[in-house]
Chain A
Amino acid sequence: MLISILLAVSITLMYAAPLMFAGLGGVISENAGVVNIGIEGMMTIGAFCGAAVGYFSGNPWWGFAAGGLSGGLLALVHAVASISFRADQTISGVAINFIGPGLALFLSRKLFAGSAMTKPVEHPIPTIFGSYAAKSSNLLIKAANIEMTVPIVFICALVLWFVLYKTSWGLRIRSVGENPAAADTLGINVYKIKYVAVFVSGVLSGFGGATMTLAVMNYFTQSTISGQGFIALAAVIFGKWKPHGTMAACLLFGFAQALVVLLGGSNSKIQIPSSLLSMLPYVLTLVSLVLFVRHSTAPKADGIPYVKGH
């Protein structure tokens, strides 16, 4: 019993980790007042670069870093549009969601002999107990042997929470998202803060994508990122635009994905058609938004382009 609970927890954490990275990305961007619908596209490019660099370098950490960097670079495109050119942030985000997957598949076909799928990564992200768990006969250790990306995302959440609420930097970020004009008069460089926030948001989303291809699966394909970016955005709303709330929401959505795996197994007691099970995370996201979103308000200037001197 303990072992199956532990197994459920570790599968939940495994699926929640990519969502958590992306969700934290959404938190920082939206707290600085930039709506980031493009998280999905940033996750996709991060997932591809993670798998590709992980495959060619043989080192998952290089892949992980490349995933974050590629997400960050794509986010800069969104930043230029939404901050400098005051574009409609939703439309710009949609453009990112075309460019990210387009670029990922384009590069995949170029690098992997015309295939829309990368080769499997030989060395995925290591687990916390590593080879010790393989040798150990202790079933508890085997069940609790989660990937390193899980502790990393929790550290990221802690750091983000600390930065946002305990440092002057965080105060600046939040003031830019709430009232950029007031922040501006206090001498805060509104554009710079927004740029940094959107870039970090992209890096985190890219980490989320790379977690998908280096810790959850071990290759990239067209359907690796299928709505996780949007589920993460729902988690941001659900989590009231706060890091800890978003993390909790991601855990819930990760649990829904874990259920798909746990209940979908051939030896499970209840037989539910796999297509209905696969629907679960999306239905749960919708239902939880309906039930809880009323108590949730976005940063005041979220999504509104800031024009200096207006």
Chain B
Amino acid sequence: MGSKIAELLNKTATKIILAIVLGFMAGALALAVAGYDPGTSYSMMFTSIFSSPQNMIQVLILTMPNILTGLSVAFAFKTGLFNIGGEGQYIVGAIAAVMVGGVFNLPPVINVIVIMLAAFLAAGLYGALAGFLKAKFGIHEVITTIMLNWIALYLNNYLISLPGIGVKNTEYSFAIKQNAWTNVLNGWKTSPQGQAYLAAHPALSPILLGTDINYGIIIAIVVAVAVSFLLYRTTFGYQVRAVGLNKDAAEAAGIRVKKSIVMTMFIAGGLAGLAGALQMTGTLPHALVTLASQPGYGFNGITVALMANSSPIGCIFTALLLSALQFGGSTIQMNLGAPSEVVNIMIGVIVFFVAVASMFTMISERIKRRRVKIAD
């Protein structure tokens, strides 16, 4: 019995599940101390998601950027880099998407592809800059990417303040042209036939008209599969992982470590940039908005990647979990007045226990040792 527990505790999946459980317990404690019933709060978070199809769709809409920023962090982790720059790369991706999608008139589908490529390239270069500073000057990527996050935020605000880009007397830039929106049944739902159909089918109209339902999450899942393929089925992916496992051995085996660092950050940046682009094409106002604080998706990506143990496919599910938590957190604030920031505390505690996963190994070893002693 004891040895089984010890073995189980040593598995990565067990450690992560324990971290999540402990996160929920910490959240419950915070709620209880603040005078809210944790049971009621948690069940409300859960039931509110399934209370209406719109809410479920809202969670999926939130999940899309979190999958992509999660992939961004996970990819960088594989080569031993910590990409905290998802926020800035997301913003740069959004800027590129709006600049391309709001200016050029391209045929449908092609326009979305061009927007995504532009965002990937722009945000990729932004990420690669941090990679270059790491490879060339040895400056820790955590500090450079944080600085780049704030620079991107103010760049976004600066662009909106320009007369050719910002819409006068608003907080918005010009929008992406409607034929490049990735919303489900985009043109049809506002056309006369569509409106007539929706009037006859009242169950559909809150979903199609009341939410920003879009194809983004499907693209994000496809990208997750592609990233998984790139990491585990290609030479480049092998090199990335080799650098992550042992830099010196990789160097000795002829892998150009510095080039690999820059390339990895390019792809990581590009992935976060895609999140920004698809958010622009998929959700209102389809334009840049003046930012007072970081959008938050880049930091979400850290939690997503850590909970997934940097598995690209795992990121899909952990992003869904995180998005459900964040959506649920906003409903307890609305309905119970309980601070939604309890979710941030939970996330922090989960990340903390993922960081101290070695604690579970230590406990596991202690159980084993005690068994050996008893056997003696």
Q: Which residue of B lies closest to A229 (CB)?
A: B146
Within 8 Å by CB of A275, from B143, B158, B339, B352, lies: B158
B356–A106 touching, CB < 8 Å: no
Binary interface profile of B, 146-177, with partner A (CB < 8 Å = 1, else 0)? 11111100110110010000000000000000
Q: Does B337 contact A (CB under 8 A)?
A: yes
Q: Does B345 contact A (CB under 8 A)?
A: yes
Chain B hits for A285, CB < 8 A: 143, 147
Q: Give the contact-size bracket for chain B.
A: 35 or more
Chain B hits for A263, CB < 8 A: none
Counting chain A CB atoms within 10 Å of each CB, the highest count among B299, B348, B357 belongs to B348
- Complex-state Cα separation, A294 to B138, whole angstroms: 8
Q: Which of A9-17, A140-148, A168-176, A220-228 contacts B (4 or more CB under 8 A)?
A: A220-228
Q: Does A192 contact B (CB under 8 A)?
A: no
Min CB distance A117 to B, Å, is 12
Counting chain B CB atoms within 10 Å of each CB, the highest count among A80, A106, A286 belongs to A106
- Complex-state Cα separation, A276 to B160, whole angstroms: 12
Chain A hits for B343, CB < 8 A: 102
Q: Does B5 contact A (CB under 8 A)?
A: no
Within 8 Å by CB of B148, from A91, A98, A222, A286, lies: A286
Chain A hits for B147, CB < 8 A: 227, 230-231, 234, 282-283, 285-286
Chain A hits for B358, CB < 8 A: 85-87
Within 8 Å by CB of B133, from A92, A227, A273, A290, lies: A290
A106–B342 touching, CB < 8 Å: yes
B142–A96 touching, CB < 8 Å: no
B355–A106 touching, CB < 8 Å: no
Binary interface profile of B, 341-359, with partner A (CB < 8 Å = 1, else 0)? 1111101110110111111
Q: Which residue of A lies closest to B294 (CB)?
A: A226
- Complex-state Cα separation, A1 to B154, whole angstroms: 32
Counting chain B CB atoms within 10 Å of each CB, the highest count among A90, A91, A95, A273 belongs to A95
- Complex-state Cα separation, A88 to B142, whole angstroms: 14
Min CB distance B359 to A, Å, is 5
Task: State whether A102 and B351 are in contact (beta carbons under 8 Å apart), knowing that A110-B34, A282-B151 are contacts in the complex.
Answer: no
Q: Does B302 contact A (CB under 8 A)?
A: yes
- Complex-state Cα separation, A285 to B157, whole angstroms: 20
Within 8 Å by CB of B143, from A95, A223, A230, lies: A230
Task: State whether A230 and B146 are in contact (beta carbons under 8 Å apart), knowing that A85-B356, A293-B137 are contacts in the complex.
Answer: yes
Min CB distance B70 to A, Å, is 14
Within 8 Å by CB of B30, from A92, A106, A279, A286, lies: A106
Q: Does B82 contact A (CB under 8 A)?
A: yes
Q: Does B139 contact A (CB under 8 A)?
A: yes
Q: Does A81 contact B (CB under 8 A)?
A: yes
- Complex-state Cα separation, A237 to B303, whole angstroms: 27
Binary interface profile of B, 299-326, with partner A (CB < 8 Å = 1, else 0)? 1001100100000000000000000000
Chain A hits for B146, CB < 8 A: 227, 230
Q: Give the contact-size bracket for chain A.
A: 35 or more
Majority-rule SS of A interface residues: helix
Min CB distance A212 to B, Å, is 16
B352–A99 touching, CB < 8 Å: yes
* 20 intermolecular pairs with C-beta atoms under 8 Å apart: A81-B356, A85-B362, A86-B358, A87-B357, A87-B359, A90-B82, A92-B355, A94-B82, A95-B349, A97-B348, A98-B345, A103-B30, A103-B341, A110-B35, A223-B292, A230-B143, A231-B147, A282-B148, A285-B143, A286-B151
Given contacts A99-B349, A289-B143, 19 further A-B contacts (CB under 8 A): A91-B354, A92-B355, A95-B351, A98-B347, A98-B351, A99-B345, A100-B348, A102-B341, A102-B347, A102-B348, A114-B339, A223-B293, A227-B147, A230-B143, A234-B143, A273-B161, A275-B158, A286-B151, A289-B137
Q: Which positions in A face B, CB cutoff 8 Å?
A: 37, 77, 80-81, 85-88, 90-92, 94-103, 105-106, 109-110, 114, 222-223, 226-227, 230-231, 233-234, 237, 273, 275-276, 278-279, 282-283, 285-286, 289-290, 293-294
Q: Which positions in B face A, CB cutoff 8 Å?
A: 30, 34-35, 82, 84, 133, 137-140, 142-144, 146-151, 154-155, 157-158, 161, 292-293, 299, 302-303, 306, 337, 339, 341-345, 347-349, 351-352, 354-359, 362
